[in-house]
């Protein structure tokens, strides 16, 4: 061996370091040890088979499917929270621009989580301007952002409004130099944003202040006032809605047909017949473009039993030879007034004969049938809906995409999954516009998963159809498919599914999926290994999972007697920098109580050492109580009593639970009576009220140290000296304290002699065969110890 190599070897041996030589030509390939599903599926090392063929390529897990630019904006949020350096502003500007550009091109709304990241990115850009004084974002980018922000679910636009307000402020310098048309569009977008986000009063005030401006277009003004009326309606603020009507009259603003139609719809929804008739009469009975208005009014008349007024509307529509849409209204009115399917068919025959006489080729078509089916569905009458579809087929009217979609809806509403699948097969041959079938196909997948009687291939056949179209998977669909894959041990498929879809959902929708995983983990019917895999998957995908849910999972592993897994869950919280997730004193208490139940001394020592290093944890009585009990139950009561000394010396002082646990430690430790008696004497000297728990614990401390005579004497004098009647708790603690002392027979005879009514209850609990079960069950449930 060369001398240099010899020196290296001896130096490393003396330093207790491994000897590593990296120049070996034939090293043994060793498998890597990875935490399962921490970032990716565990990798397997390759080896040559018998015939020299290598294994097939290992499946790679998909990367998170973030929209363009979102990863950079997420990085900005993380770096800001950590007070670290974010990406360069130019990179952030490109990400902001590409994100909203893609959203507008796809006509896809931005979810609240995405909007929050975009807001932080825009604030970062404003706080770090260019050196030349220029802007990172152009007016077209800001307009795209404002357009995208208008698409949000009702009542969920607070984060959208916050970002839109900032974008609107940045647009103001640009709009001053724009044409009147562009200024009106920008102003209308802002009014629309305010109304949809629940700030309709602010929008109305803004309109009142600017309606007289010369650059305001009359048509745009009418459109903006319609948005204000819709805003108050959506907020269910009837007083402000009517007040807005008064303002419009005072300002002598003309009521356009769109506004009159809105008022008809509003008053019919509010069941105000007179006002609805008034605005409907002002709108007129034109047969062109007013299908929905006529339909609302006729449905309102049928609902309120005003058949005469409805007949007048029908008569006015039949003055001239009506168009097909009007005939559809008449058929629907007949259905609303109780006419059967056969009577409606005779009316169709009348329509055809009348049109033939006038040389018109209009006939009932799929739209006619769909409107009748839609009405039957609104009345929750799937039987009549099926008869309408059969009527259409009798007339040679083939169902179209909308027919099949409605057929799936009402069949699923009565749990006819096979019928819905048949309609789905028919839908496959139809051209669907704007993906209107996506929602009901999601419902079909959910129903098939819930039913539990359909094979995996049948379910995945429907799911793969949506996947190939790159259509939206609803959160409930993703949840159902994830559970389906979990039960088949197909963990890569679960990860792929979550990484593909979960980053496109709002925070509430992500929480819905996360809760499904949490419930799966808390279900005792699932094996511990399966629960651990499920936890590993969802904790990485849903890294925003709050502390309380993670603590529930930790306690679940304690209940499953897997304190090692619970310890991992604790450290996942301990190592997290998010203040909503990182471990608090309550988390430490829950962990210590779990280690006490599991008698896991090694994990207890590990977590206790981590607590000493945690600068955010200030030990209090409750935390020290849990440590005292944990060390006592893991076989080190002497160390547990050290925490009693800390509690006594602390400013907060001991609680009743501290006293109970201290007596418990005295019961466990040799010569514990030397510590228990001074505590008892001090309690009596300080005139502390002795409650049932404290009394039982002291009795256990005496009995556990072989002072049976004193313990029995104390129990017999309990009612006279302390007004405490010995019960199941006191006598059970006395009996359990003697299990290891071979004195069970003596205590059993004592209980049978003096308290014969209680012994059958103790025997029923099985305390005579459950080592240390009874006493601990009472202590660990104390409210001052448990979180």
601 in a domain, yes or no?
no
267 in a domain, yes or no?
yes
pLDDT band at residue 10 under the 50/70/90 scheme: low
760 in a domain, yes or no?
yes
Q: Quick one: pLDDT at residue 134?
A: 83
pLDDT per residue over 178-202, tens digit each?
777 788 888 999 999 999 999 999 9
In this structure, are 625 and 503 located in the same domain? Answer: no
In this structure, are 506 and 623 located in the same domain? Answer: no
In this structure, are 499 and 648 located in the same domain? Answer: no
Is 588 exposed, middle or buried, given 0-12, 13-18 or 19+ CB atoms closer than 10 A? Answer: buried
Q: Length of the chain, please?
A: 787
Q: Provide DSSP, 226-240.
A: HHHHHHHHHTT-HHH
Q: DSSP code of 581?
A: T
Integer Cα distance of 245 and 228 in angstroms? 10
In this structure, are 754 and 636 located in the same domain? Answer: yes
CA 653 to chain CA mean position, Å: 41
282 in a domain, yes or no?
yes
CA angle 64, 65, 67 (to 5 degrees): 130
> Of the ranges 131-145, 149-163, 463-477, 531-545, which one carries the lowest mean pLDDT score?
149-163
Mean pLDDT value across residues 253-273: 89
Last residue of a domain, one of 267, 298, 320: 320
The neighbour count for residue 750, using CB atoms within 10 Å, is 20
For residues 287, 289, 291, 293, the Cα torsion angle rounded to the nearest 10 degrees is -100
Give the max Cα distance, the chain. Answer: 116
What is the residue range of 264's domain? 255-320
Contact predicate 61/536, CB 8 Å: no
Mean pLDDT value across residues 536-553: 93
Mean pLDDT value across residues 217-246: 92
Query: What's the token pair of residue 624?
Result: 């020290």
> Of the ranges 155-159, 710-714, 772-776, which one carries the lowest mean pLDDT score?
772-776
Last residue of a domain, one of 299, 320, 341: 320
Q: Provide DSSP, 399-460.
A: --HHHHHHHHHHHHHTT-HHHHHHHHHHHTTS--STTTTHHHHHHHHHHHHHH--S-HHHHH
Integer Cα distance of 208 and 226 in angstroms? 14
In this structure, are 511 and 636 located in the same domain? Answer: no
Give the residue with greater pLDDT, 215 vs 771.
215
Is 767 exposed, middle or buried, given 0-12, 13-18 or 19+ CB atoms closer than 10 A? Answer: buried
In the numeric block, the tokens 């869950």 are attached to: 569
Q: Provide DSSP, 663-724.
A: HHHHHHSTTTHHHHHHHHHHHHHTT----HHHHHHHHHHHHHTT-HHHHHHHHHTHHHHH--
In this structure, are 649 and 751 located in the same domain? Answer: yes
pLDDT per residue over 580-593, tens digit each?
899 999 999 999 99
In this structure, are 753 and 638 located in the same domain? Answer: yes
pLDDT at 519 over 70: yes
In the numeric block, the tokens 């009612």 are attached to: 719
Query: What's the token pair of residue 541?
Result: 């995908």
706 in a domain, yes or no?
yes
Task: Find all residues with CB under 8 Å of 32, minimum gap 6, and list them.
Answer: 43, 45
Q: Return the percentage of the chain with pLDDT > 90, whole number.
A: 58
560 in a domain, yes or no?
no
761 in a domain, yes or no?
yes
Mean pLDDT value across residues 699-711: 91
Contact predicate 186/171, CB 8 Å: yes
Integer Cα distance of 539 and 541 in angstroms? 6
In this structure, are 624 and 765 located in the same domain? Answer: yes
Integer Cα distance of 764 and 456 in angstroms? 48
Last residue of a domain, one of 545, 567, 585: 545
In this structure, are 637 and 539 located in the same domain? Answer: no
In this structure, are 628 and 527 located in the same domain? Answer: no
484 in a domain, yes or no?
yes
**Number of domains, the chain:** 3
Identify how many contiguous H helices and E strands the chain contains and give both numbers: 41, 0
Task: Find all residues with CB under 8 Å of 578, minimum gap 6, and list them.
Answer: 81, 544
In this structure, are 775 and 626 located in the same domain? Answer: yes
CATH number at residue 745: 1.25.40
In this structure, are 637 and 755 located in the same domain? Answer: yes
* R_g (Cα) of the chain, nearest Å: 37
């Amino acid at each position: 061996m060369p001398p240099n190599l010899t020196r290296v070897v001896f130096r490393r041996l003396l330093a207790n370091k491994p000897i590593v030589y990296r120049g070996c030509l034939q090293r043994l390939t060793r498998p890597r040890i990875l935490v399962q599903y921490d970032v990716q599926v565990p990798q397997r090392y390759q080896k040559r088979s018998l015939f020299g063929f290598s294994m097939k390529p290992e499946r790679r897990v998909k990367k998170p499917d973030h929209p363009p630019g979102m990863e950079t904006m997420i990085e900005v949020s993380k770096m800001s929270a950590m007070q670290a350096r974010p990406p360069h502003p130019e990179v952030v500007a490109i990400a902001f621009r590409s994100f909203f550009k893609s959203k507008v091109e796809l006509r896809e709304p931005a979810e609240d989580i995405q909007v929050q990241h975009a807001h932080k990115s825009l604030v970062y850009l404003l706080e770090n301007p260019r050196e030349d004084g220029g802007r990172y974002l152009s007016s077209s980018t800001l307009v795209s952002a404002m357009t995208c922000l208008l698409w949000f679910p009702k009542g969920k636009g607070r984060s959208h409004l916050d970002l839109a307000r900032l974008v609107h402020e940045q647009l103001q310098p640009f709009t001053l130099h724009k044409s009147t048309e562009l200024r009106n569009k920008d102003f209308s977008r802002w009014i629309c944003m305010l109304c949809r986000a629940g700030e309709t009063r602010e929008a109305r005030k803004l309109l009142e202040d600017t309606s007289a401006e010369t650059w305001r277009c009359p048509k745009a003004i009418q459109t903006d006032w319609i948005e204000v009326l819709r805003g108050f309606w959506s907020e269910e603020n009837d007083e402000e809605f009517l007040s807005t009507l008064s303002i419009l009259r005072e300002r002598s603003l003309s009521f356009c047909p769109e506004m009159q139609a809105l008022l008809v719809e509003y008053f019919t929804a509010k069941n105000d017949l007179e006002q609805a008739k008034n605005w409907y009469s002002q709108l007129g009975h034109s047969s062109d473009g007013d299908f929905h208005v006529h339909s609302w009014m006729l449905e309102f008349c049928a609902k309120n039993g005003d058949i005469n007024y409805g007949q007048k509307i029908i008569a006015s529509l039949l003055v001239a030879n009506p168009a097909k849409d009007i005939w559809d209204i008449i058929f629907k009115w007949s259905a609303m007034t109780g006419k059967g399917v056969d009577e409606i068919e005779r009316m169709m025959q009348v329509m055809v004969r009348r049109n033939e006489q006038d040389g018109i080729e209009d006939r009932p078509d799929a739209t006619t049938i769909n409107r009748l089916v839609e009405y039957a569905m609104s009345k929750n009458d799937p039987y009549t809906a099926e008869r309408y579809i059969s009527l259409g087929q009798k007339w040679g009217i083939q169902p179209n995409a909308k027919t099949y979609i409605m057929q799936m809806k009402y069949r699923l509403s009565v749990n006819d999954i096979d019928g819905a699948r048949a309609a789905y097969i028919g839908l496959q041959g139809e051209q669907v516009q704007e993906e209107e079938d996506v929602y009901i196909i999601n419902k079909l997948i959910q129903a098939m998963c819930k039913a539990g009687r359909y094979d995996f291939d049948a379910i995945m056949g429907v799911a793969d159809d949506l996947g190939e179209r790159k259509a939206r998977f609803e959160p409930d669909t993703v949840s159902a498919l994830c559970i389906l894959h979990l039960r088949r041990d197909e963990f890569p498929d679960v990860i792929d599914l979550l990484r593909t879809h979960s980053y496109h959902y709002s925070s509430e929708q992500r929480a819905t999926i996360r809760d499904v995983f949490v419930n799966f983990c808390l279900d005792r019917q699932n094996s511990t290994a399966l629960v651990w895999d499920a936890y590993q998957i969802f904790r990485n995908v849903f890294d925003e999972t709050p502390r309380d849910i993670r603590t529930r999972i930790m306690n679940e592993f304690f209940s499953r007697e897997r304190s090692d897994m619970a310890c991992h869950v604790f450290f996942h919280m301990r190592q997290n920098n998010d203040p909503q997730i990182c471990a608090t004193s309550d988390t430490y208490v829950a962990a210590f109580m779990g280690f006490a139940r599991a008698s896991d001394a090694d994990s207890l020592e590990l977590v206790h050492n981590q607590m000493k290093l945690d600068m955010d944890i200030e030990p209090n009585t409750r935390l020290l109580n849990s440590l005292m009990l944990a060390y006592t139950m893991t076989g080190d009561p002497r160390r547990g009593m050290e925490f009693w000394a800390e509690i006594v010396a602390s400013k907060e002082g001991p609680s009743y639970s501290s006293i109970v646990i201290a007596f418990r430690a005295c019961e466990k430790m040799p010569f514990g009576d030397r510590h228990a008696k001074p505590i008892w004497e001090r309690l009596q000297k300080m005139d502390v009220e002795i409650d049932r728990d404290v009394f039982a614990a002291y009795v256990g401390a005496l009995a556990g140290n072989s002072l049976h005579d004193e313990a029995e004497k104390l129990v017999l004098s309990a009612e006279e000296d302390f007004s405490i009647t010995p019960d199941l708790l006191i006598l059970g603690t006395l009996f359990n304290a003697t299990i290891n002392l071979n004195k069970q027979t003596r205590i059993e005879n004592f209980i049978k002699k003096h308290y014969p009514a209680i012994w059958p209850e103790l025997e029923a609990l099985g305390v005579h065969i459950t080592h240390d079960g009874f006493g601990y069950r009472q202590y660990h449930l104390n409210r001052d110890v448990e979180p």
